[in-house]
Amino acid sequence: MSDKKGRVLVVEDNFMSKALVREVLELNGYEVVEADRGVDAVRIAGEEKPDVILMDINLPGMDGVTATRLIKSSASGSTVPILALTASAMKGEEEKIIAQGFDGYIAKPIDISTLIKSIEEAVASFISR
């Protein structure tokens, strides 16, 4: 049995942003798997069975909303929490993000303590499903 707190799939095309998220999550005891593109995210979500997915909305090719819809409609991914990574987290934006199929969001620029808290909550909600 793994001593990790959970496995996080990070879907992000920006190298710096992805490196930051990986560093923070690994330092906090999470296992990280990565994808740069939406199409890879769908495949890796099926293969790696993450406990939570962090999904950038703006990705080259298939966007994060479409990738999320595909993962949620798959047998293995229907219950996995998916948090959007979005630069546009203004008031009222959360409902729009939830309506697009996400379970929540993390605003960019990323606040590290918010990131960790959101991941912990998402993993806990997934385990209790």
Residues that bind Mn ion (CB under 5 A): 13, 56, 58
**Please, what sign has the CA dihedral across residues 46, 40, 73, 79?**
positive
Instruction: Measure the CA–CA gap between 72 and 75, rounded to whole angstroms.
Output: 8
Q: Which CB sits closer to Mn ion, 58 or 100? A: 58
Q: Which CB sits closer to Mn ion, 10 or 123? A: 10
| CB-nearest residue to Mn ion | 58
Supply the minimum distance, in Å, between the C-beta of residue 87 and Mn ion.
9
Q: Cα torsion for 72, 129, 27, 48, to the nearest 10°?
A: -50
Supply the minimum distance, in Å, between the C-beta of residue 17 and Mn ion.
8
Contact indicator for 94, 105 with CB cutoff of 8 Å: yes
Q: Which CB sits closer to Mn ion, 58 or 125? A: 58
Supply the minimum distance, in Å, between the C-beta of residue 15 and Mn ion.
10
Supply the minimum distance, in Å, between the C-beta of residue 23 and Mn ion.
18
Q: Which CB sits closer to Mn ion, 100 or 125? A: 100
Q: What is the DSSP string of 55-79?
A: EES--SSS-HHHHHHHHHTSTTTTT
